[in-house]
Amino acid sequence: MAKKLNMKERYTSKLYDLWAAFYDGTFGKLVHSRQQLALKQIRPKDGELVLDIGVGTGMTLPHYPENCTVVGMDLSGGMLEKAADKIDEKSLDHCNLVQGDAMFPPFAPQSFDHVIITHTISVVSEPAKLLKWAETLVKPTGRIVILNHFQSANKFIGWWEHVLNPFFLKIGWRSDLPLEECLEGSDLHTLYHFKISQFDFWQIVVLSPTNKVEKDEVVIPQKAKLKSAASLDSTFGMPATN
């Protein structure tokens, strides 16, 4: 890593080195099916390049189709070692790893066809900066897919998420991050976002520099609550819900 890490990223790197040993068996178990669903929101064409920011132990890697090339980037050497083990064990020759800081990613603008960010936007020091980078790195027709917990709009739940935030910060992420804060200063279009059920903690958000989305691109479970951007209502044939 060329650039010196700031204090928050240095703490995060050490913390996730510790998490690495038991991540897959704990938090990873909880979120694995959602990670797979997040990846289904991109359908890479042959030869396309996908950036997975904060790839961690590489739980997403076995679920990328072999027709694309994946670059998994992470701060933590410990997490990346686990990801490298998966690549070796499962012969994932289309997956590559880079140790780097998402606050200063070592890639040229528009290098990637799609960008995936799972459970990482609430971990970095500046969520809006991460998204701005994703916007810079993705091609104009690409997708940026975020899977994360965002602070609830419900006042009571949102208050608890705020109160519990110091505890969650100690174990590695923010519990009080609103989606709106991530989108500050971004020119991306929110194509759609959904939870697998109304009371799920996690949300999948699909963004793009373009506001064009075909109905058959959207892969969501039947009971999921889809929210579309107002500009896409005619595509989905449904009233705006956000």
Ligand X SMILES: C[S@@+](CC[C@H](N)C(=O)[O-])C[C@H]1O[C@@H](n2cnc3c(N)ncnc32)[C@H](O)[C@@H]1O
The nearest distance, CB 131 to ligand X, in angstroms, is 13
Q: Which stretch binds ligand X (CB under 6 A): 69-77, 133-141, 163-171, 200-208?
A: 69-77
53 token code pair = 């920011």
Task: Report the site for ligand X in 115-144 (rule: CB under 6 A).
Answer: 118-120, 123-124
Q: Which residue shows structure tokens 């936007």?
A: 121
Q: Give dist(CA 225, CA 223) in Å, integer.
A: 7
Do residues 137 and 209 lie in contact, with contact meaning Cβ atoms separated by under 8 Å? no
The nearest distance, CB 39 to ligand X, in angstroms, is 11
Q: Which residue shows structure tokens 């104009």?
A: 140
Number of residues that bind ligand X (CB under 6 A): 23
**Exactly one of 41, 48, 56, 191 binds ligand X (CB under 6 A); which one?**
56
Q: Give dist(CA 105, CA 86) in Å, integer.
A: 23
> In terms of DSSP H, where are the helices of the chain?
7-19, 27-39, 77-89, 127-137, 155-163, 165-171, 179-183, 233-236
Question: Would you count residue 54 as binding ligand X (CB under 6 A)?
Answer: yes
Task: Report the site for ligand X in 158-197 (rule: CB under 6 A).
Answer: 173
Hey, which residues does 160 pair with through a beta bridge? none
Do residues 73 and 98 lie in contact, with contact meaning Cβ atoms separated by under 8 Å? yes
Question: Would you count residue 150 as binding ligand X (CB under 6 A)?
Answer: no
Nearer to ligand X, 132 or 232 (CB): 132
Question: Would you count residue 55 as binding ligand X (CB under 6 A)?
Answer: yes
**Exactly one of 39, 48, 71, 74 binds ligand X (CB under 6 A); which one?**
74
**Exactly one of 37, 68, 71, 75 binds ligand X (CB under 6 A); which one?**
75
Do residues 69 and 45 lie in contact, with contact meaning Cβ atoms separated by under 8 Å? no
> Distance between the two ends of the chain, CA-based, in angstroms?
40
Q: One symbol per residue from 87 to 116: x for binding ligand X (CB under 6 A), - otherwise; what is it?
A: --------------xxx-------------
- Binding stretches for ligand X (CB under 6 A): 9, 12, 16, 28, 35, 54-56, 59, 73-76, 79, 101-103, 118-120, 123-124, 173
